[in-house]
Structure 1
């Protein structure tokens, strides 16, 4: 009997995949795109993510836990399936790879300024390959271990309570927001992405409602983490300061001084390699699962190696952080479309099949 993922591990896996290096820039993004008191919009984005998870729960209930690949292959001809899988594989592979590239460039700037970032990225990709080769169950267990290493870092926010200025929390809401608020809002919403890959876990979980509850809980945990960090930043920095600082959370952590640790901001940012490792691992694992549906006889480790190698080669193209972030913005908006569109497509397929079965039963009677 195959091992099933426990809801606790699923919750922490989704949480680690959702949270990432974007946290360090999130207060600035909120100030630039949504204006004064932009931290409030985190609740709106969380509600959108909750609705998306509800769509996934509908698919899970209608399919009775069946793999989404089986549902798609039973409903669509191969002429549509191959391009769809190719698109998903490309999207998930590049998303995971460029998330890692973004982290590596920032990390290299702070810690190893004379080292080429692609050398560090090679090491991260190699670790991801080793983790993917162990399967989704071990990936989830690794995410659980990494979670306990990182979660205590939120306690550092207590250091800033004494300096919190309520005057910075102005009575104005969303004034001076970005003129292109739709694209800006989607860019910020991409910080919540990661939960959508839970739709691939149907065959690996115990049947029941606890699976979906664990995904909901992960989104709540991410929301509270983002909210805590952003409220503190909006209370310590003025609105114009937030818009100027590239990574306000890093600047915030630089104010902390302990007699036993120097440059706490560098130490804290270095720890976030664990979330990025889980992100690249989960996304490329998802891409590998799609490839295996097309060529099931090929060894999964070979597929993983090819995907990571191809993504590594492509990641040489955006050679500076601004280009990487531009690529991630495009990929993030595309992933949002998939996050909502794929469950809706599956719901339509499942409802049509259910209607056909009921029609056949009625005709037989």
Structure 2
């Protein structure tokens, strides 16, 4: 990347939003109903707040590190032979997470639109586009994300057309009654916000003056509002028991839209969700490539990322059905939640140790 090519605040914010977004919005209301029960949509605000605190933790790393990349921070204090297995482990997690996120979308898309076509044919087309974008570098990827954001974000406003079906009485005056609390479901719902942690790898691609962390907070705020509004509409259109029984309540709501020239307009709307899924897969593979690039520095980062893209495609052959993919994602979301929280903490410990060492080195002799 040329020295003058730095991510602008708007590009970095939109890129983070696109990484966080995905098909989870279609199933989130049902998960909220099962786990929290009545008025479960309110829990979305709690998840959004936790993510904001997590982003603030990343912001502290950025401030104390003076804008240095996480690799510069770690490699200043820890020998590379010790770090390489750490880099490789995180790269594998990110590669698998991107692979399973893409496979989940493709399986749902196949279920609704092309049930007789093999899902991996669609997935191959997706990863080929991912590989092509990876060759363009992060700066052009961010500009492409801004373009696709405009083609995708308008869909949330479709839900305003269903206020005629909305009934406040369905929300009931009770809070979190009739749910079945599950820790695994908590991690699963939190995973719908994941992706913000990749801004750790954007430190070296922005100017120090750039509002990277502020952009991440704005991106998470917009996503939280979208999830909150979609969940509220679902809770107000369906009863609690109906919501618990529906696999994709938001898709079912959109199916009521009728256009004279399209028979199944919900298929069209679902197709637009390929854009955030594309960037989720792309950026997790890109992040894995950044990690592997530190292990094999002589190989071009774009080449590493392209190779990892097709490795992730191969991994997607392992789970066959959507339930098996869901099981993989359930485990990976727990691990990734740990990475999102623990990696900034590790970096903070290293930074504090470095500052302590510098202070000791400059202390006058007694």
Per-residue displacement from partner, 1:67-94 (whole Å, max 9, x unpaired)?
0011111222234311111111101111
Counterpart contact for 2:135–2:306, Cα < 8 Å: no
Q: State the SS of the aligned residue for 1:148.
A: helix
Shift of 1:260: 3.8
What is the TM-score of this pair, normalised by structure 2? 0.97
CA contact (8 A) 1:34 1:185 kept: no
Provide the rounded CA distance (Å) in 2 between the counterparts of 1:105 and 1:337: 27
Question: 2:238 — aligned with what?
Answer: 237
Q: Deviations over 1:208-233 (max 9, x none)?
A: 26221111100100011111111000
Q: Are 1:48 and 2:40 an aligned pair? A: no
Q: How does 1:214-233 map to 2 (within 5 A)?
A: 214-233=215-234
The residue number in structure 1 matching 2:288 is: 287
Aligned 8 A contact 1:93 1:284 in 2: yes
- Give the Cα–Cα distance (whole angstroms) in 1 for the partners of residues 202 and 80 of structure 2: 23
Matches within 5 A, 1:126-205: 126-180=128-182, 182-205=183-206
Q: What does residue 348 of structure 1 align with?
A: 349
CA contact (8 A) 1:178 1:184 kept: no
Root-mean-square deviation over aligned CA pairs: 1.3
- Alpha carbons 2:134, 2:306 under 8 Å: kept: no
Q: Unpaired runs of 5+ in structure 1? A: none
Deviation at 1:176, TM superposition (A): 2.3
2:99 touches 2:315 (CA, 8 Å); kept in 1? no
Q: What's the offset of the Cα at 1:111? A: 1.4
Q: Is the 8 A contact 2:135 2:303 kept in 1?
A: no
Q: Give the equivalent residue in structure 1 for 2:71.
A: 69
Which of 9, 27, 30 aligns to 2:29? It is 27
Gaps of 5+ in 2: none
- Secondary structure of the 1:162 match is coil
Distance 1:209 1:130 in 2: 28
Give me the whole-angstrom Cα distance separating, in 1, the residues matched to 2:171 and 2:179: 16
SS of match in other structure, 2:173: coil
Mapping of residues 244-323 of structure 1, within 5 Å: 244-323=245-324
